[in-house]
Amino acid sequence: MLCALNRQVPDRLPVTTHHLMQSYLREFFKGADSREFFDALDLDAIDWVVEHRPDESLGERYDPVQGKIGFLEARRVVTDAWRISIEDLPGTEFQAQRFRFFTPGGELSMVLQSNAYTTWVAEHLIKEKSDIDLLGAFMPAPKCDVGAVNRAADAFGERGIIRSHMCTFDAFGQPGCWQDAACLAGIERLILETYDDPVWVHEFLGILQRRKLVYARSLAGARYDVIELGGGAASSTVISPAIFERFVAPYDRDIIEAAHAAGQRIVYHTCGGMMPLLERIAAMGPDAMETFTPAAMGGDADLAEAKRRIGSKVCMIGGFDQLRFFTRCTPKETRAEVRRCFAEAGGGGGFILSPSDHFFDADPELLEAFADEARKCTYA
């Protein structure tokens, strides 16, 4: 995988997956952890490590009310001017929690709901435009706990790569600036405001960017192999190339530059449409791009065309239709799809085969065919 991330030619096609959902591991792999899953299938392994630390000189500390670390979360950082409470909400169809953020200037709140598979925002944080002022004035910026990351890297050894993501908003967010804002204000509202009040949108994005830049600059010395930026809300099936150019690229480009200055690689994640944005994303300077979601999964990826247009600039990750070829076909068809992806995007290296995002359902027999056939795709 490191060879591919560096756009070099490995001995064989690297093959892995994105986030492993705990619900899937419980149902299909008897509660195995991710390391056991990768070992069982002989996939190229990824250890997701997200370690934040407070800056005590700024009055920061770990959040004392945080319980189990959730999906895309890390240990939260609070101050006397940014305190968090969590309240369970009874009488709802799905498990629901209200997160309250207390500041000297007022209170913000959001509601998250969850089922056995995932979590989503049921009430957005940003209700009035002035709410972003509280973020700008009081929201702390976590830093990377470099020592904790490196201890995890030592423990994982040579089994696979250490991956992470740029810091997100506390409780629920996304790595990219636009994508984080979409979680906090709602994507429909955010799109409309790019026309109705673009100055406010730029101010909002700038507040989120400043926080992420603090984190990006703190990454120096952390032995990550790649760090994720982006998110699906900036795909071309959600926003236009013009909105991407004005409200996404300027903010995330600076974060990529800061991460590079700290010695880190960046993969830009776009689960959804990518084809109208390929050159725009590559121009931001990431080391890799994902997820090259096929049309049957709601994207628009043409692997061969993408390889021709940007394959010399970035490593490509993804491209595999996990809905059809992990659940609705024969092992022979799964193997044929692996070969198709390799033929279209594998030439000259710089390609990691992976499902186009995480999955909630997959036939273990088809996963075995996926992994086995990919290992047979050699460059020698």
Quick one: pLDDT at residue 21? 86
Domains of the chain listed by start with CATH number: 2-77+127-375 (3.20.20.210)
Quick one: pLDDT at residue 72? 65
Phi, psi of 290 (to 5 degrees): -145, 160
User: Is residue 257 helix, strand or coil?
Assistant: helix
Q: What is the C-alpha separation between 315 and 10, in angstroms, rounded?
A: 12
Give Cβ neighbours of residue 103 (< 8 Å, ≥ 6 apart). 81, 82, 134, 137, 138
| pTM of the shown model | 0.95
Quick one: pLDDT at residue 111? 97
Q: Which helix (H) or strand (E) holds 207?
A: helix 198-217
Q: Encode pLDDT of 352-376 as tens digits.
A: 999 988 888 889 999 999 999 999 9
Q: What is the C-alpha separation between 350 and 379, in angstroms, rounded?
A: 12
Quick one: pLDDT at residue 71? 65
Q: Encode pLDDT of 151-198 as tens digits.
A: 999 999 999 999 999 999 998 999 999 999 999 999 999 999 999 999
Phi, psi of 321 (to 5 degrees): -85, 95
Average pLDDT, the chain: 95
Looking at residue 208, its amino acid is L
C-alpha angle 73/116/177, rounded to 5°? 30
**What are the average pLDDT values for consecutive 10-residue runs of the chain, which has 380 residues?**
96 93 86 90 95 96 87 86 96 94 98 92 98 98 97 95 96 96 98 98 98 98 98 96 98 98 98 96 98 94 98 97 93 98 97 91 94 95
Q: Which of 40, 7, 47, 16 is nearest to 354 (CA)?
A: 16
Looking at residue 337, its amino acid is E
Q: What is the C-alpha separation between 107 and 124, in angstroms, rounded?
A: 13
